[in-house]
Chains A and B, each alone.
Chain A
Amino acid sequence: MIGHVASSGEARGRVVLRLSCGAPASEAAFEAAARIAQAFGSDIEGLFIEDLQLIDLTGYSFTREVAFNGRASRDLSIAALEEEFSSAFRAVQRRMQAVAKKYQARAYATRVRDEPLTALARACARAGPWNVIVMEEPLNARSGMALSDILFTVRDATGVVIIGPRSRRSRGPVVVVVEEPDRLISMMRTAERLAMANPSQEGIIALLAGNTSDELEWLEGQARLVLAHGPEPRFVLAPPARGEPSVIAEALRRLSAGFVISRFGGLMVPADDLKALTTALESPLFLVR
């Protein structure tokens, strides 16, 4: 995982920004990818995936494309679709370069025609294993399952950064959800690098989630140890959310989190029903394996 890079002080890894051929990517997604790339000295690969399913659609005579404003519709042809892909690809290329320049990160875009999950897996395998995937929150309701699929299928990714529809906040502290010792060091190191690379992150908050006070004290001690020579983190007790997305989202919002790092499938971010949480979150959510 990218935390290894962070903990070992290496300047490697790659940020794969998933660019859907459907909805245009939000500014927050570009920004999140660039901030990580800046912190870790990584490249950004903008992966523009031309969904094969859409290509298949052009074989139907009765399917039509309804414009976003709902005022017009038209037959889908392969030529029209390819033109739309090309134009959308050029647009995201420009935006990505502009954001990368702002953060002084290297960026390039690739264009593949494939099934989205397969495309991601192949892209990460090309330059693994230290990949972080940045993607916007999927539209379908089974996002939790979809994310599980991603982490299962894309072996060469250390984590996924989810950008929800309200993830507009870029300022604010990096909030690390500390709930078990295994990933503590790498997650704290990741937070440290993110906070130090970008002053707008305004420090680190360790959100301690444990079952007993001993456990919490021990986690806090470990976290302090990790950042003994770095920025001093602020420690906050996690609310007894028990996986309730609205409670977690409210707690993070109150902390004005600019970036959230958490373990996928833990106490705070359970593996099921991620949709409710990502919809409510106001900052990017970095889920590590």
Chain B
Amino acid sequence: MIFRLGKKTDKENKKSQPANPEAVPAITGNSQPEARTVKALAAGELRRTVDPATLSFKTTAELEPLTGLIGQERATRALSFGAGMKSNDYNIFVLGPDASGKSAAVRAQLSALAASAPVPCDWVYVNNFDDPNKPIALQLKSGRGRPFEKAMVAAVDEILAALPAAFESEDYQARARALDAEYGGRTEEQLQALGQKAEEHGVALLRTPLGFTLAPMLEGKVVKPEAFSAVPPSMQEEVRRTIEELQVELQAILADVPRADKERRHHLRTLNEEIASAVVKDALDDIVAAFGKDGDVLDYLNAVRNDLVVNAQLFLADPSHEQDAFTVQPVDSSRDSRFRRYMVNSVVVHDAGEAGAPVIEESNPTLGNVIGRVEHLAHMGALVTDFLLIKPGALHKANGGTLLVDARKLITSPFAWEALKRALKTKAIRLEQPVESLGLVSTQTLDPEPIPLDVKVVLFGDRELYYLLARHDPEFQELFKVQADFDDTIARTKENAEMYARLIAAIVGEFGLQPLDAGAVAGVIEEGSRMARDRDKLTIEVSRIGDIVREADYWAKQSEREMTTREDVRRAIDEQVQRADRLRDRDQETFERGIVLVDTEGRKVGQINGLSVLQLGTFAFGRPSRITARVRFGAGRVVDIEREAKLGGPLHSKGVMILWGYLAGMFAQDRPLALSASLVFEQSYGGVEGDSASSTELYALLSALSDVPIRQGIAVTGSVNQLGEVQAIGGVNEKIEGFFDVCKVRGLDGRQGVIIPAANVQHLMLREDVVEAVRNDQFSVWPVKTIAEGIEILTGMPAGVRGGDGAFPDGSVYQRVEEKLKVFAERAKASGAMMQQALSGEASS
């Protein structure tokens, strides 16, 4: 036998004895099959290390901290494109893993783009004097909102000081008195004259709560009815007649009072407006000159002027009389409830020196925080509001620029997502109160004028959410046409490694850590590849990288080092694992104590070690599982016991079904496959998913069919197709390390190892202790491309290749399998003939 498995295989084969469980069965037959040569991987192939000497720096202190992204050209181009498209439907969805630092990087990139954009206009809400429930939105040039607000306060202050003085002026008082004298005095005089006339006729004019009355009078006092009845009837009659005549006159005088009063009030109002107009004009003229050309400000100021003139008495009244106002805090005119209607609510204002368009990030995207809200105040048991209680949302602040929002938070916040879409579609920010539309409240509210919207919305989310939205929300794709897809990893090139080092320098700077030397940076880069589960990639999970750097800094300081070294990085990683691997320890213990049965030495027929990975948060570890196969003559079926027990997932079941295809194609081209086989993951109680054990199961099946024992010191992972090609799987590092740990505890004997798909070699970033064991010939990793290669390593026998006669060579595994299947087929044929005979016998009798 010339079959070799790298440098250890020969040694192993020499030890084989038939009586020994590890013995290789004798190869019989005419021809000696040729074995393939699969070399175990050298230690250097198991982990891609970084030589600190190849790095261009000694410590991170020499590096310029990185700002921005590394190796995300696709995403950055998408961002630039999305930011440049001036349309309401070209919003951006940033896809990518959490904690990758993409938010900060996107913000930095968009901020750089926004810096050269113009500063957007200011927006203020003001009172609508025609309909106070519909406040008016005014647009002002950038930086003029706040001055406008202050100018209005100053104008009110000025009117507050000037108006009372104007109304107390000599001119006004004289004219007002003249009006009083003309209208008020006229009635008074008429009543006095009537009273005098009545007195002359012995009649008194008296006031009652609701009017006037007349009565007989003597010496200034009303004559009592008893005394009056004593007066001669003729005199009584005369008094009665006089009183009736006076009553007619009284009625005429009083009937004229409302008309006269109306006239007086009209003239007084005209006078008041004349006086107030002059004061108001003086106060507003400066504002008109300064702001009159901004949007609709002039119209608003005209409305203010009219209202101030009509309501000049507001400025004359004592503020404490304003019982109807809902806040009485006359600290200054801007807080005096009487003058709220003249104030300005600066919803969005920019400082005069501000440059560029805004880039706003909303970390709590509730409905109110996104589109703004109308707040209420409790007053006398009711909720009241006005335009000054309109609070801006993130859309207001980002208007003219960019808004960054976490998609998941937005969608899970009631009404917020719908409101954002509505705003984008209508290109306007309309304040909505969802509770009103649901009919839940009946308090006073506002319908403010919508503000035109020109914003670029950038949503952050994972891919699952993106595809979920794309599938279920037709408006999503209509409005978010740009996807900036961030890779989870980046290529591990020399340039990217240098950038990685600068990223580490940025983390050092951000957290005020001590610098890392080149060795430590090399350690972090290697760990970045391990996290990426690919030796040629680097993870961009910045927060996890940051954790390692910060923890390494801690351990360096504990060791009183002024520089973080590779040793500190290693310790940080080990400590992280140690903190998280309680369950792995317990799992390992079950192997040590023989609770979970896994052999790591000897040979057995139909039994093999498979590998699986358990993921616990960010920590994952591998563990071996015993897989067994039993075969017998049967109806042509491979029974997947996991599936039968409903513990196997669909991918696992698919893998098992592929085995049947392989066997049929390989061994049953011209005869029925009269095989019944059962496969089981022993001591598996939690379910099995994935097809990474399908090659393992096939090896077990081939062993059972050929009666050739399998080396138990080898564990296997890899999926297989119908052609017998071994395909790549995930978690290769954890799986190898999981089996290594079990073997290490039991003692490494140099014959142990793991068979992996050759396609997974590029993903190997094994732990340093595993690499060291391989370097010392204590452990092996074999990459295989086909089942034939794998079965030869496992059995020490050649798999066999069909010769010109169509038969496998004697002594090969496949020849033994084919023989067994031939026997099953003949038995099936015989039992079929017997059945036929029995059936025809029944028919003839």
Give the interface of A toward B (CB within 8 A): 20-24, 51, 53-54, 56-57, 59-60, 62-71, 73, 76, 81, 84-85, 87-88, 102, 139-141, 165-166, 253, 256
B250 touches A66 (CB 8 A): yes
Q: How far is the CA of A53 from the CA of B219 in the complex (A)?
A: 13
A253 touches B173 (CB 8 A): yes
8 A Cβ contacts from B211-266 to A = 211-216, 221-226, 228, 240, 243-244, 247, 250-258
Select the stretch in B125-133, B188-196, B421-429 that faces chain A: B188-196
Say which residue of B168, B173, B180, B243 sits within 8 Å of A63 (CB atoms): B243
6 nearest CB pairs, A to B: A22-B207, A70-B254, A59-B225, A70-B255, A84-B209, A53-B222
B215 touches A63 (CB 8 A): yes
Say which residue of B180, B216, B225, B247 sits within 8 Å of A73 (CB atoms): B247
B208 proximal to A (CB < 8 A)? yes
A65 touches B213 (CB 8 A): yes
Contacts of A67 in B (CB 8 A): 210-211, 254
B247 touches A22 (CB 8 A): no
Chain B's closest residue to A142 (CB) is B220
Min Cβ gap B523→A in Å is: 77
Chain B's closest residue to A81 (CB) is B208
Q: How far is the CA of A253 from the CA of B209 in the complex (A)?
A: 32
Say which residue of B206, B251, B254 sits within 8 Å of A54 (CB atoms): B206
Min Cβ gap B315→A in Å is: 13
Contacts of B243 in A (CB 8 A): 62-63
B452 proximal to A (CB < 8 A)? no
A66 touches B240 (CB 8 A): no
Contacts of A51 in B (CB 8 A): 206
Say which residue of B168, B184, B257 sits within 8 Å of A69 (CB atoms): B257
Min Cβ gap A63→B in Å is: 5
B844 proximal to A (CB < 8 A)? no
Contacts of B213 in A (CB 8 A): 54, 57, 63-66, 76
Q: How far is the CA of A279 from the CA of B364 in the complex (A)?
A: 68
B interface residues, tally (CB under 8 Å): 43
Q: How far is the CA of A71 from the CA of B251 in the complex (A)?
A: 7
Say which residue of A22, A53, A60 sits within 8 Å of B228 (CB atoms): A60
Say which residue of B192, B209, B257 sits within 8 Å of A22 (CB atoms): B209
Contacts of B204 in A (CB 8 A): 53
B30 proximal to A (CB < 8 A)? no
Say which residue of A66, A141, A256 sits within 8 Å of B211 (CB atoms): A66
Min Cβ gap B323→A in Å is: 9
Contacts of A22 in B (CB 8 A): 206-209
B28 proximal to A (CB < 8 A)? no
Say which residue of B180, B221, B240, B254 sits within 8 Å of A68 (CB atoms): B254
Contacts of A76 in B (CB 8 A): 208, 213
Min Cβ gap B562→A in Å is: 70
Contacts of A54 in B (CB 8 A): 206, 208, 213
Give the interface of B toward A (CB within 8 A): 168, 173, 177, 180, 184, 188, 191-192, 195-196, 204, 206-216, 221-226, 228, 240, 243-244, 247, 250-258, 320
If A57-B213, A165-B188, A256-B168 touch, whether A69 touches B255 (CB-CB below 8 Å) is yes
Say which residue of A57, A70, A84, A139 sits within 8 Å of B251 (CB atoms): A70
Contacts of A53 in B (CB 8 A): 204, 206, 215, 221-222
> Would you list 22 pairs from A and B whose C-beta atoms are within 8 A, ordered by A residue?
A21-B208, A22-B207, A51-B206, A56-B222, A57-B215, A59-B225, A60-B225, A60-B228, A63-B215, A65-B213, A66-B211, A66-B254, A67-B210, A68-B212, A70-B253, A70-B257, A73-B211, A76-B208, A76-B213, A88-B209, A139-B207, A165-B184
Say which residue of B184, B207, B209, B240 sits within 8 Å of A62 (CB atoms): B240
Contacts of A73 in B (CB 8 A): 211, 247, 251
Q: How far is the CA of A84 from the CA of B250 in the complex (A)?
A: 20
Min Cβ gap B199→A in Å is: 9
B188 touches A84 (CB 8 A): no
Q: How far is the CA of A67 from the CA of B320 in the complex (A)?
A: 34
A20 touches B196 (CB 8 A): no
Q: How far is the CA of A56 from the CA of B192 in the complex (A)?
A: 23
Min Cβ gap A29→B in Å is: 15
B253 touches A84 (CB 8 A): no
Q: How far is the CA of A73 from the CA of B212 in the complex (A)?
A: 9
B257 touches A23 (CB 8 A): no
If A60-B215, A60-B228 touch, whether A69 touches B209 (CB-CB below 8 Å) is no
Min Cβ gap A87→B in Å is: 7
B225 touches A56 (CB 8 A): yes
Contacts of A62 in B (CB 8 A): 240, 243-244
Min Cβ gap B825→A in Å is: 111
B255 touches A68 (CB 8 A): no
A69 touches B215 (CB 8 A): no
Q: How far is the CA of A78 from the CA of B750 in the complex (A)?
A: 127
Contacts of B173 in A (CB 8 A): 253
Chain A's closest residue to B320 (CB) is A102
A70 touches B252 (CB 8 A): yes
Chain A's closest residue to B196 (CB) is A141
A20 touches B215 (CB 8 A): no
Chain A's closest residue to B258 (CB) is A69
Contacts of A63 in B (CB 8 A): 213-215, 243
A59 touches B210 (CB 8 A): no
Contacts of A84 in B (CB 8 A): 208-210
Say which residue of B180, B192, B240, B247 sits within 8 Å of A166 (CB atoms): B180
Q: How far is the CA of A51 from the CA of B216 in the complex (A)?
A: 16
19 new A-B contacts at CB < 8 Å, known A21-B209, A66-B212: A20-B207, A21-B208, A22-B206, A23-B207, A53-B215, A53-B221, A53-B222, A54-B213, A60-B225, A63-B214, A68-B254, A70-B254, A70-B255, A71-B255, A84-B208, A85-B209, A140-B195, A141-B192, A166-B177
Min Cβ gap A135→B in Å is: 14
Q: How far is the CA of A22 from the CA of B240 in the complex (A)?
A: 23
Min Cβ gap B248→A in Å is: 10
Min Cβ gap A97→B in Å is: 14
Q: How far is the CA of A65 from the CA of B243 in the complex (A)?
A: 12
Contacts of B224 in A (CB 8 A): 56, 59
Q: How far is the CA of A280 from the CA of B705 in the complex (A)?
A: 129
Min Cβ gap A129→B in Å is: 28
Min Cβ gap A46→B in Å is: 15
A66 touches B247 (CB 8 A): yes
Min Cβ gap A139→B in Å is: 7
B210 touches A65 (CB 8 A): yes
Contacts of B247 in A (CB 8 A): 64, 66, 73
Min Cβ gap A117→B in Å is: 11
Say which residue of B209, B222, B251, B320 sits within 8 Å of A66 (CB atoms): B251
Min Cβ gap A11→B in Å is: 24
Min Cβ gap A33→B in Å is: 17
Chain A's closest residue to B208 (CB) is A65
Q: How far is the CA of A22 from the CA of B254 in the complex (A)?
A: 15
Min Cβ gap B408→A in Å is: 56
Q: How far is the CA of A76 from the CA of B221 in the complex (A)?
A: 18
Chain B's closest residue to A86 (CB) is B209
If A22-B208, A59-B225 touch, whether A68 touches B168 (CB-CB below 8 Å) is no
